[in-house]
Structure 1
Amino acid sequence: MYPDRVVSGMRPTGPLHLGHYHGALKNWVKMQTELPCLFFVADWHALTTNYDDPSIIEKNTWDMLVDWLAAGVDPSQATLFIQSRVPEHAELHLMLSMGTPLGWLERVPTYKDQIEQLAHKDLTTYGFLGYPLLMAADVLIYRASQVPVGEDQIPHVEMTREIARRFNHLYGKEKGFEEKAQEAVKKLGSKRAKLYHELRTEFQQEGKIEALEQAKAMLDDTQNLSMVDRERLFGYLEGSRKLILVEPQVRLTEASRLPGLDGRKMSKSYGNSIFLREDKESVTKKVRTMPTDPARVRRTDPGDPEKCPVWQLHQVYSDQATKDWVVKGCKSAGIGCLECKQPVIDAILREQEPMHERAQQYLDDPSLVRAIIADGCDKARKLAQETMRDVREAMGLGYT
Structure 2
Amino acid sequence: MLVETSRPIILTGDRTTGPLHLGHYAGSLRNRVALQRTHRQFVLLADAQALTDNMDDPDKVRRNVLEVALDYLAVGIDPAETTICVQSALPALSELTQLYLNFVTVARLERNPTIKDEIQARGFERDIPAGFLCYPVAQAADITAFKATVVPVGLDQGPMIEQTNEIVRRVNRQAGRDLLPEAKALIPATGRLPGADGKAKMSKSLGDAIPLSATPDEIRDLVNRMYTDPNHLRASDPGAVKGNVVFLYLDAFDPDRDSVEELKERYRRGGLGDVALKRHLEDVLQQLLKPIRERRAAVAKDLGYVLDMLRSGTSKARAITQATLDEVRDGLGLFSFDRTACKRSVAPD
TM-score bracket for this pair, using the shorter chain length = 0.7 to 0.9
Contact kept in structure 1, 2:212 and 2:292, CA below 8 Å: yes
2:186 partner amino acid = R
Larger radius of gyration: 1
Equivalence map 1:114-125=2 (5 Å): 114-119=118-123, 123-125=127-129
Equivalence map 1:247-396=2 (5 Å): 247-264=182-199, 265-297=201-233, 302-306=237-241, 308-318=244-254, 319=256, 320-321=258-259, 323-325=261-263, 327-328=265-266, 331-333=269-271, 335-394=272-331, 395-396=333-334
2:39 partner amino acid = L
The CA distance in 1 between the partners of 2:263 and 2:99, in whole Å, is 60
The CA distance in 2 between the partners of 1:129 and 1:70, in whole Å, is 33
User: What is aligned with 1:184?
Assistant: none
1:54 aligns with 2:58: yes
Deviations 1:198-224 (A, max 9, x none): xxxxxxxxxxxxxxxxxxxxxxxxxxx
Q: 1:255 to 1:88 in 2, by over 3 A?
A: farther
The CA distance in 1 between the partners of 2:11 and 2:122, in whole Å, is 27
Secondary structure in 1 aligned to 2:189? Answer: coil
Equivalence map 1:152-191=2 (5 Å): 152-170=156-174, 172=175
User: What is aligned with 1:188?
Assistant: none
Q: 1:323 to 1:391 in 2, by over 3 A?
A: closer
Q: What is the TM-score with the length of structure 2 in the denominator? A: 0.85
Answer 1 or 2: which has greater helix percent.
Answer: 1
1:398 aligns with 2:336: yes
Greater shift in the superposed pair: 120-129 or 157-166: 120-129
Secondary structure in 2 aligned to 1:356? Answer: helix
Q: What is the TM-score with the length of structure 1 in the denominator? A: 0.75
Contact kept in structure 2, 1:81 and 1:374, CA below 8 Å: yes
Q: 1:48 to 1:252 in 2, by over 3 A?
A: same
**Which blocks of at least 5 consecutive residues in structure 1 are unaligned?**
173-240
The CA distance in 2 between the partners of 1:148 and 1:286, in whole Å, is 27
Secondary structure in 2 aligned to 1:272? Answer: coil
**Cα deviation, residue 330, structure 1:** 7.5
1:397 partner amino acid = F
Q: 1:252 to 1:331 in 2, by over 3 A?
A: closer
Contact kept in structure 1, 2:27 and 2:153, CA below 8 Å: no
Deviations 1:243-287 (A, max 9, x none): 322222333333443343223432224432211110112212332
Between the two proteins, what is the percent identity of the paired residues? 33
Deviations 1:20-53 (A, max 9, x none): 1001111111111111010001111111111222
Secondary structure in 2 aligned to 1:41? Answer: strand
Deviations 1:166-213 (A, max 9, x none): 22222x3xxxxxxxxxxxxxxxxxxxxxxxxxxxxxxxxxxxxxxxxx
**Cα deviation, residue 136, structure 1:** 0.6
Greater shift in the superposed pair: 142-151 or 69-78: 142-151
1:97 partner amino acid = L
**Cα deviation, residue 323, structure 1:** 4.3
**Which blocks of at least 5 consecutive residues in structure 2 are unaligned?**
339-349
Contact kept in structure 2, 1:315 and 1:323, CA below 8 Å: no
Equivalence map 1:64-213=2 (5 Å): 64-119=68-123, 123-170=127-174, 172=175
**Cα deviation, residue 361, structure 1:** 2.4
The CA distance in 1 between the partners of 2:134 and 2:24, in whole Å, is 25
Q: 1:284 to 1:371 in 2, by over 3 A?
A: same
User: What is aligned with 1:246?
Assistant: 181
**Cα deviation, residue 77, structure 1:** 0.6
The CA distance in 2 between the partners of 1:358 and 1:40, in whole Å, is 21
Greater shift in the superposed pair: 5-14 or 303-312: 303-312
The CA distance in 2 between the partners of 1:125 and 1:321, in whole Å, is 48
Aligned to 1:39, which of 40, 43, 46?
A: 43
The CA distance in 1 between the partners of 2:106 and 2:229, in whole Å, is 50
Superposition RMSD in Å? 2.5
Greater shift in the superposed pair: 283-292 or 144-153: 283-292
Aligned to 1:13, which of 12, 17, 22?
A: 17
Contact kept in structure 1, 2:236 and 2:273, CA below 8 Å: no
Secondary structure in 1 aligned to 2:146? Answer: coil
Contact kept in structure 1, 2:154 and 2:192, CA below 8 Å: no
The CA distance in 2 between the partners of 1:289 and 1:160, in whole Å, is 39
1:312 partner amino acid = L
Contact kept in structure 2, 1:43 and 1:84, CA below 8 Å: yes
